[in-house]
């Protein structure tokens, strides 16, 4: 039964840490420390120091790392999946 008690304490600590982080992020957002903005390329929510939308986000630059199960289940689109962010050479 002590295993359940330890797991319960760990669960409570993780939930408390998540709630505290959410409160601090909310206060920083109210004070203008950072902003939630949409990515201009894909529309995902991302964090920014300014109110302007970012040109690209982590989801755009690293889709395999952010969505590995989607990449595994859609092998036909492997040539479309980019692992790193590369700027096109003019």
**pLDDT tens digit string along 59-80?**
777 766 767 776 666 655 545 5
Check if the beta carbon of residue 46 is closer than 8 Å to that of residue 57. yes
pLDDT value at residue 89: 46
Per domain, the residue ranges of the chain are: 2-80
20-64: per-residue pLDDT in tens? 999 998 888 888 888 888 888 877 888 888 888 878 777 777 766
Check if the beta carbon of residue 33 is closer than 8 Å to that of residue 48. no
| Euclidean distance between CA atoms 81 and 87, whole angstroms | 15
């Amino acid at each position: 039964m002590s295993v359940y008690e330890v797991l319960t304490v760990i669960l409570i600590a993780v939930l408390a840490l998540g709630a505290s982080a959410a409160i601090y992020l909310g206060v920083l957002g109210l004070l203008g420390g950072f902003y939630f903005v949409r990515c201009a390329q894909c529309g995902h929510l991302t964090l920014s120091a300014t109110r302007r939308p970012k040109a690209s986000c982590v989801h755009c630059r690293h889709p395999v790392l952010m969505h590995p199960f989607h990449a595994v289940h859609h092998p036909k689109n492997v040539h479309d999946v980019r692992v790193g962010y590369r700027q096109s050479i003019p």
